[in-house]
Amino acid sequence: MKDILYLVIPCYNEEQVLHETSKRLLEKINTMISNELISCESKILFVNDGSKDKTWDIIEQLYSKNSIFSGINLSRNRGHQNALLAGLMTAKEYADMTISLDADLQDDVGVIDKFVEQYYNGSDIVYGVRSSRQTDTFFKRTSALAFYKLMNILGVDAIFNHADYRLMSKRALEGLSQYKEVNLFLRGMIPLIGYRYSIVEYERHERFAGESKYPLKKMIAFALDGITSLSIKPIRIITMLGFTIFFVSVIALIYSIVVKFFGSTVTGWTSLTLSIWMLGGIQLLSLGVIGEYIGKIYNETKQRPRFIISDKLIDINKKDK
């Protein structure tokens, strides 16, 4: 008896891609079932993240035609990370392993076999890592690189060039379910779970239809969230900055006293304005960074649900029609 695989796919306004995606995934999963790589109870689980278009209708249709398709419907749009978590936490109940991937099939479906192979070889987590970023724009490439570098400097253990294309075993998901934080940055949290992991390289394709749901503004917010959810180094840096400025000001104090008694005191307009602006700037920046963290604490203490599932279409008994 082979293990049960659930493919988990968050979808936000993906009506343009769902038909093609579901067709390709069905082919893939059927081949794997007939090759006896995975159990025939394996499923394709779509998570509708409060889409405004026909995404949920399409998922319902797919489900009624073939029970290998399943779906959960979130009560509203909660963002990619929350939608993904909703899918994973639902799949955890039925699956031995899950693979999360994007609805636009930018993640190469061809390497799913390799993921599963690594799972049978004893890996609890398999990270899909992009072998190249040729299909990305120059801007996205460099900004992504800068982001990973910055994360590493700030002490976050993120896997380079890995997004959310990954396999997780049941016990890795159990581990993840114990992380109760509401500020989700899954790719930074999952390495914290531990267990044996491995890496599978793949080529990332271009989105074949529809448009990206991650404009620059969302990307920057996501990057900032990632850093402030997983690292307190920025606050340390502020403390160090404070110390340095204090040290410099002590020297300046001694210097100005010496000059007052032994030299001529010229009204130092330049240094005065400079220090007012500079210190003001640094203080505001520091307040902002500390505020970011207080905001995070505020959100965490409220312990609001990370997602609410309004409909659930999973048929675990019915065999394929």
**3-state SS, residue 241:** helix
Min separation Cβ 212 and ligand UDP, Å? 3
CB of 47 to ligand UDP, least distance (A): 7
Q: Out of 5, 6, 14, 88, point to the residue binding ligand UDP (CB under 6 A).
A: 14
Q: What is the DSSP string of 77-121?
A: ---HHHHHHHHHHHHTTT-SEEEE--TT--B-GGGHHHHHHHHHT
Q: Which is nearer to Mg ion, 191 or 210 (CB)?
A: 210
> Which residue, 12 or 197, is less far from ligand UDP as judged by CB?
12
- Cα separation, 119 vs 62, in Å, equals 28
Q: How far is the CB of 31 from ligand UDP (least distance, A)?
A: 23
Which secondary-structure segment (H or E) carries 48?
A: strand 43-48
Beta carbons within 10 angstroms of residue 73's beta carbon: 21
Under DSSP, the state recorded for 311 is: E
**Shortest reach from residue 14's CB to ligand UDP, in Å:** 5
When the beta carbons of 43 and 204 are compared against Mg ion, the nearer one is 204
Nearest CB to Mg ion, comparing residues 121 and 131: 131
The least CB distance from residue 210 to Mg ion, in Å, is 9
What gap in Å lies between CA 112 and CA 237, rounded to an integer? 42
Phi, psi angle pair for 222, to nearest 5°: -65, -45
Helices 216-230 and 186-193 sit at what angle, rounded to 10 degrees? 30
Q: Does residue 108 belong to the site contacting Mg ion (CB under 5 A)?
A: no
Pick one of 212, 244, 249, 256: the residue that binds ligand UDP (CB under 6 A): 212
Q: Which residues bind Mg ion (CB under 5 A)?
A: 102, 104, 106, 207
Q: Which residues bind ligand UDP (CB under 6 A)?
A: 10-12, 14, 49, 77, 79-80, 83, 102-104, 106, 207, 212-214
